[in-house]
Every structure is written in structure tokens, then in C-alpha cells.
């Protein structure tokens, strides 16, 4: 895993290109730690279409069902059966085995709207600071 190849959303999802226009999508470490133990994943079937920042699926933790948003527009190629069978993988290895879906992107230029790792780290630092001030 080369984290410098990952791009991040403000809602704490990531996408990592695997080939020209296919990327893996998942939740960040921050997202999984703030959700708590994940017990259930509801992910779209292959062939399903998603919009950038539109709803991709649902994740259930601590008796709460939350939305997962898509970092980019495209068509679902595959959802991670291993993570559906064992949702705790998302907590254990959010950037690796706990990925959620593979997505065929409609428009690579959309990724320009996302943050790289250093931008995301800075964004997180600001999030932490503002929540400490409250």
C-alpha cells in the first residue's frame, strides 16, 4: 500500500486508482475509529451507478446506520465480499483488506477535487482543533 497514491474526501472516504480508470474506495482510519465497531455493510451491486459525493452505501456500527458517500462518479465493478462477510475488516485494515468497492470512474478530472494525503492530514488537524475548542 502506497498511501501517497490515495485521495481523500472531506467526509473521510478514500479512493486509490488501480489502473487507468478503476479505483478502490474505502473509509479512512479516522472514519472507522469514529464509527466504532462496524457490524454490517450495505454496498451496491456491480453495475450500479454512483455520483461523486452521492450515496454509495451504508455502514452500521454501535447501533447506528450511516451513509458512505462516493469519492467519484462511476459504475461499481465489484464490492468487497470479504468485508461484507466480516465487516470488522474495515476497522482492522481500512486502507487495505477493508476496502469497500471497486469503481470504474466516469471522469478522472473529478479526483482533482479531492485531497492528497498531506492535505488530508492538515484538514484532520484543523478538524481536531475545532472540536477541541468546542
Partner 1 sequence: MICTVYQLGRIGYREAYYLQRQLLKQRASGCIGNTLLILEHPPTITIGKSGKLQNILVSQEQLQNSGISIVSTDRGGDVTYHGPGQLIGYPIIDLRDRGKNVRQYVHDIEEVIIRTLNDFGINSCRDRNHAGVWVKGEEIAAIGLRIKRWGTMHGFALNVNTDLEKFSLINPCGCSDIKATSCSRLLSREVLMEEVTTVLLAHFSEVFNFQMEIRASNLVGSLSC
Query: Binding residues for partner 1, per CB under 8 A?
Result: 11-12, 33-36, 39-40, 42, 58, 60-67, 69, 127, 131, 134
Q: Smallest gap, in angstroms, from Cβ of residue 18 to partner 1? A: 28
Quick one: 56 or 102, whose CB is closer to partner 1?
56
Say how far apart CA 3 and CA 108 lie, in whole Å: 19
Say how far apart CA 127 and CA 114 lie, in whole Å: 16
Q: Smallest gap, in angstroms, from Cβ of residue 124 to partner 1? A: 11
Q: Smallest gap, in angstroms, from Cβ of residue 105 to partner 1? A: 22
What's the grid cell of residue 14? 478514500
For residue 12, the Cα-to-chain-centroid distance in whole angstroms is: 6
Q: H or E segment at 64? A: strand 64-69
Say how far apart CA 26 and CA 94 lie, in whole Å: 7
Quick one: 33 or 107, whose CB is closer to partner 1?
33
Q: Smallest gap, in angstroms, from Cβ of residue 2 to partner 1? A: 27
Quick one: 87 or 98, whose CB is closer to partner 1?
87
Amino acid at each position: 500500500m502506497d498511501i501517497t497514491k490515495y485521495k481523500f474526501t472531506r467526509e473521510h472516504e478514500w479512493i486509490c486508482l488501480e489502473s487507468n480508470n478503476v479505483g478502490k474506495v474505502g473509509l479512512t482510519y479516522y472514519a472507522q475509529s469514529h464509527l466504532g465497531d462496524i457490524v454490517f455493510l450495505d454496498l451496491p451491486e456491480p453495475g450500479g451507478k454512483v455520483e461523486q459525493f452521492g450515496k454509495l452505501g451504508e455502514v452500521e456500527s454501535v447501533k447506528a446506520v450511516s451513509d458512505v458517500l462516493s469519492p467519484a462518479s462511476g459504475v461499481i465493478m465489484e464490492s468487497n465480499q470479504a468485508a461484507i462477510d466480516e465487516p470488522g475488516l474495515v476497522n482492522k485494515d481500512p486502507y487495505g483488506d477493508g476496502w469497500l468497492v471497486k469503481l470504474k470512474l466516469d471522469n478522472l478530472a473529478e479526483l482533482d477535487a479531492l485531497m492528497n494525503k498531506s492535505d488530508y492530514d492538515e484538514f484532520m488537524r484543523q478538524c481536531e482543533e475545532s472540536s477541541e475548542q468546542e
